[in-house]
Structure 1
Amino acid sequence: MNRWSEVLDTMRIENGAYIASPSRDYSYVWIRDVCYTVLPYLGTPCDRYERAYHALLDLFRRYEWKIDIHTRKKPVYLYEYIHARYTQKLTELDQPWGHAQNDAIGLFLWGVAEGVRRGKRILRDEKDREICEKLVRYLACLEYWDHADNGMWEENMEVHASSIGACVAGLTAARLLVEVPEGLIRKGEKSLGLLLPRESVTKESDLALLSLIYPYQIVPRTVAQQILSHAEARLERTYGLIRYKGDRYYNEGAEAEWCFGFPWMGLCYTLLGDDTEAEKYWAKTQSILPPDHHLPELYIGGTDQPNGNTPLAWAVAMAWLLEQRIPSSQAGERAE
């Protein structure tokens, strides 16, 4: 077991899911965070990828009654949506939250199908397959292609390109598992074509757009290059990338700098075949990587201090993923 996995295992819980961070504020299970956290295990023989998805499938089984309702009737209140975060026992939390996060459902479907494609035993029985089919119908009922949601950052309700893209990727991948109406995918693609390279009406550049390149690979090369050049010019800072201009989260005079921005940029460049840029962002990742690999969520805006959500499982996973893709001679420089 390597150092990265050891750090992630400190946030792994008995049921196979992961908390976002051992901090007081983040010791919960987010669907999105779990799916990103286990990506480094996708190409390995260990069972951490499967176990995490089995935990999430069990969660969806528990709340299948809610999914059933909203395959026929759009949610009105935020608590009616499939919740975004849960207790460590994978039960809902009874407090207000921005649960309208369509990207998490798209990511989950993508992760299930990608696991199956890679030979992972994700679907244990017909009920697991039925859950996936119902999630497809849930996104159809929402009319995800024109649906205002809280987005990846759990904030204001608007139509987000990153959410639509996650759903397009998830539905496209899910055709391996269940029947997905072709028109359901085309509607999302059409909406993306109208929005991109913007994230939304209010956000021109946004860190969340990187997901359309890595892991989803659903935008043309020219659009991917636009997204990356905008991110580098407008979002990149000393300790990572800001999420978007004007972000108020942990803002102490400037926007917070998110550490997983550096490895995420590098991962995107590996998919474009640009080794020079990928290695540049690996070097930037190394520059903020503590010796114990406890990569923080972010550096508080306007300071040189990380916040308390350290380590962040999602950030650790992204850094590990980039190290996996960098030539061993380059990756090894950090260890030496």
Structure 2
Amino acid sequence: MALDGIAVHNQQVRQRLRPTYSLAEVQALRQWLQTKGTFEVPQLDNGLFPAAVVTEQTRYTGYDCVWVRDTAHIAYSHGQQGDEATAYRVADTLMTHFMKQKSRFEAVIDGRISPDNHYERPPVKFIGTTLEELPQPWPQAQNDALGYFLWFYCHLYQQQLTSLAPEVIATLRRFIPYFQAIRYWQDEDHGHWEETPKIQASSIGAVLAGLQALYRWLPLSASERVTWKHLIQQGEQALQIILPAECRQPPPQYRRYDAALLFLIYPLSIVNRAMGRRIVAEVCENLQGAHGIRRYLGDSFWCADYKTKFSPEQRTGDFSQTMAQRDAWLTPGEEAQWCLFDPLLSVIFGRWFQATGNLQDYQRQLYHFNRALGQITADTCEQGSYKCPELYYLQDGHYVSSDATPLLWTQAYVALAFWQLEQNLHHDV
């Protein structure tokens, strides 16, 4: 199963794929890719990560900015693999960013800014070098990103015995009344994909994970505990109603399948094993393609011949209020196929194998590991070979990588897929 029907873009990589691997083979493969620059990750002076490596030709994408969501995932990957110094540095700089947003949080909490004003919420995308806000409006109502920060920061620091500065504690506590003010369990946010606002399980689950991590680590007052308990109950009840779908609202918001739900399994661990297996099965059955995994059915981002249909200014702009215009260009079945999710699935199956010893889980771990490696770019890629793309899309009838190549989020999970497989092989599978 590990090599069946796998599309491999780089022929040098193809020669190194195996139906199964020894620990030495995996380590040698990782080292070989390191020499090719596959895992080179640019980092800003303050520790943060841009979303992608950009050139003068691809700067239009805006991927040289920092997204809180992406950065939390990338830093978490570093920490899991033993690079805790990088993870702590990222956490501290993100904390500085959210300290600077005190007035935004308080304006929403106090009712001076309506939660419906999505462009005035605390920024989750910003200029990484200066921590300044973007010069142009951006839909900042992305509750999942706030949840990821809270979860990542508390997860990282919960083992530390040193006391934190009062301003840090105050910033963390500010999330509780904020999530209450926006009623996150029924808030229509833009979510992982920054598109049409909707009530979506992937956002609710990320906030829930953040709140749980906060409670495990930070002592709360009696009144804070009451509010926290209410927030947890509301989030859990919402997930019970929505899952395994992403959104249960009527069309056009309704969405049955969305690959963002995979993050509720890993790294957030917010759903039980049975629900996790159902989500994985439905993603693989309904969203998996030959070159990657679709975000969701009907996704028009980087649809076929995207560069000829949209100008550079339009391609990665704010479509959150005008999705119908972009969707009109999509032919069903020609959605872009993303490279982030196969390594994520490899990690998920690898963790299940560790827990259960089920060899089918191990075979699925290998299968998605090899699919992830098959997505590494070839010499014909405009952005260069041996890179981890954001996605593959149809251009003139052929699947090619998008301009956001390499995408650091993809890199982070390919590295985690290697790490997870090495962990399993250390136990002599």
TM-score by length of 1: 0.91
Distance 1:183 1:239, change over 3 A: same
1:149 to 189, 198, 207: 189
Q: How does 1:280-299 map to 2 (within 5 A)?
A: 280-290=367-377, 293-299=386-392
CA distance in 1, matches of 2:410, 2:116: 33
2:343 to 263, 273, 296: 263
CA distance in 2, matches of 1:7, 1:129: 38
CA distance in 1, matches of 2:425, 2:273: 26
How far does residue 265 in structure 1 lie from its aligned partner after superposition?
1.3
How far does residue 126 in structure 1 lie from its aligned partner after superposition?
2.1
Q: For structure 1, which runs of at least 5 residues remain unmatched after alignment?
A: 332-336
CA distance in 1, matches of 2:410, 2:258: 17
How far does residue 309 in structure 1 lie from its aligned partner after superposition?
0.3
Q: Equivalent residue of 2:195, what SS?
A: coil
Q: Equivalent residue of 1:38, what SS?
A: helix
**Are 2:50 and 2:64, in contact at CA under 8 Å, matched by a contact in 1?**
yes
Q: How does 1:215-226 map to 2 (within 5 A)?
A: 215-226=267-278
**CA RMSD after TM alignment:** 2.4
Is residue 42 from structure 1 mapped to residue 79 from structure 2 by the alignment?
Answer: yes
CA distance in 1, matches of 2:291, 2:276: 23
**Are 1:19 and 1:30, in contact at CA under 8 Å, matched by a contact in 2?**
yes
Q: Which residue of 1 aligns with 2:282?
A: 230
Identity score, percent: 28
Distance 1:8 1:62, change over 3 A: farther
Is residue 171 from structure 1 mapped to residue 211 from structure 2 by the alignment?
Answer: yes
Q: Which residue of 2 aligns with 1:185?
A: 232
Q: Greater Rg, structure 1 or structure 2?
A: 2
**Are 1:270 and 1:325, in contact at CA under 8 Å, matched by a contact in 2?**
yes
How far does residue 280 in structure 1 lie from its aligned partner after superposition?
1.3
Q: Which residue of 2 aligns with 1:275?
A: 362
Distance 1:42 1:148, change over 3 A: same
Higher relative contact order, chain-length normalized (CA < 8 Å, sep 6+): 2
Which region of structure 1 is more displaced relative to structure 2, 278-287 or 148-157? 278-287
How far does residue 227 in structure 1 lie from its aligned partner after superposition?
0.4
CA distance in 2, matches of 1:174, 1:129: 10
How far does residue 327 in structure 1 lie from its aligned partner after superposition?
3.2
Letter in 2 for 1:300: Y
Residue-pair matches, total: 330
Which region of structure 1 is more displaced relative to structure 2, 276-285 or 112-121? 112-121
Is residue 212 from structure 1 mapped to residue 264 from structure 2 by the alignment?
Answer: yes
Q: Which residue of 1 aligns with 2:170?
A: 130
Is residue 318 from structure 1 mapped to residue 401 from structure 2 by the alignment?
Answer: no
Q: Which residue of 2 aligns with 1:14?
A: 45
Which region of structure 1 is more displaced relative to structure 2, 171-180 or 145-154? 171-180
**Are 2:39 and 2:415, in contact at CA under 8 Å, matched by a contact in 1?**
no
Deviations 1:192-213 (A, max 9, x none): 0000000013110101000110
Q: For structure 2, which runs of at least 5 residues remain unmatched after alignment?
A: 1-29, 249-253, 305-330, 354-360, 379-384
Distance 1:227 1:120, change over 3 A: farther
Deviations 1:56-90 (A, max 9, x none): 11111112111121223242322211112101211
Q: Which residue of 2 aligns with 1:68?
A: 106
CA distance in 1, matches of 2:335, 2:161: 40
Deviations 1:141-194 (A, max 9, x none): 111011110010000011000000001111011111242521210110000000
CA distance in 1, matches of 2:409, 2:178: 26
How far does residue 303 in structure 1 lie from its aligned partner after superposition?
3.2
Q: Which residue of 2 aligns with 1:105?
A: 146
Which region of structure 1 is more displaced relative to structure 2, 247-256 or 287-296? 287-296
CA distance in 1, matches of 2:45, 2:39: 13
Distance 1:250 1:328, change over 3 A: same
**Are 2:99 and 2:171, in contact at CA under 8 Å, matched by a contact in 1?**
yes
Deviations 1:194-236 (A, max 9, x none): 0000001311010100011011111121111110010010000
CA distance in 2, matches of 1:149, 1:8: 32
Distance 1:69 1:178, change over 3 A: farther
Q: Equivalent residue of 1:272, what SS?
A: helix
Q: Which residue of 1 aligns with 2:69?
A: 32
Q: Which residue of 2 aligns with 1:334?
A: none
How far does residue 125 in structure 1 lie from its aligned partner after superposition?
1.8
Letter in 2 for 1:321: L
How far does residue 17 in structure 1 lie from its aligned partner after superposition?
0.6
